[in-house]
Structure 1
Amino acid sequence: GYKDLYIWQDSPNTFYDWHTHPNDEIRYVLEGSTTIKVKQNNLIHEYNLQPGQFIEVKSNTLHNAYTKTGVKYVCGSK
């Protein structure tokens, strides 16, 4: 299961440039929306997440994130 669960909030127009994490990561949207792009096998997949939706990004996977409206979400790693 996931550990280190916490709630995170980003202001409108927050952008996180391409990066990785050493563990599998999950983001579950509570309020607002966010767009997360994940690069796998030289392809970029774009996920537009709304409240009630989540994404799991595997360890060491290159990704970025942007919120136009602001977002509040649950974060976790395993």
Structure 2
Amino acid sequence: MIDINEAKKKLIDLGYSDLYVWQDSPGTYYDWHTHSEDEVRYILEGSMVIGTKDKVYHLRAGDILEVSAGTKHWAKTEEGVKYLCGSKRRI
């Protein structure tokens, strides 16, 4: 199991703020969208798939994915997932 405090410290060290834990139930799907800031997902439990126009990422507990501001992407989970989210403004 991922230690939430260690996970938060790691993301803060990477420059992320506004950290919060999010959970999606099995079968959740987020259609194509973008974010105005850089976003990060640190998988704490379960798994999810995030796709961009260039690549599909299969994420499991312990994996971190950084998505740059303006990157069009989608996300889904088959088994459910719990993850730490954060954002970072570009300078």
Q: How many residues align?
A: 74
Bigger proportion of residues as helix:
2
CA distance in structure 2 between the partners assigned to 1:64 and 1:56 by the alignment: 13
Structure 1 segments unaligned to the other structure (5+ residues): none
Unaligned runs of 5+ residues in structure 2 are 1-14
| Cα drift, residue 72 of structure 1 | 0.1
Which residue of 53, 63, 78 corresponds with 2:63? 53
Q: TM-score, normalised by structure 1?
A: 0.93
In structure 1, give the amino acid aligned to 2:68: K
TM-score by length of 2: 0.80
Q: Does 1:22 align with 2:36?
A: yes
- Percent identity over paired residues: 59
Q: Quote the RMSD (CA, aligned, Å).
A: 0.5
Q: CA deviation at 1:38?
A: 1.3
> Structure 1 runs of 4+ off > 3 angstroms?
none
Picking from 36, 57, 72, the partner of 2:50 is 36
Report the alpha carbon displacement of residue 15 of structure 1 after superposing the two structures with TM: 0.1
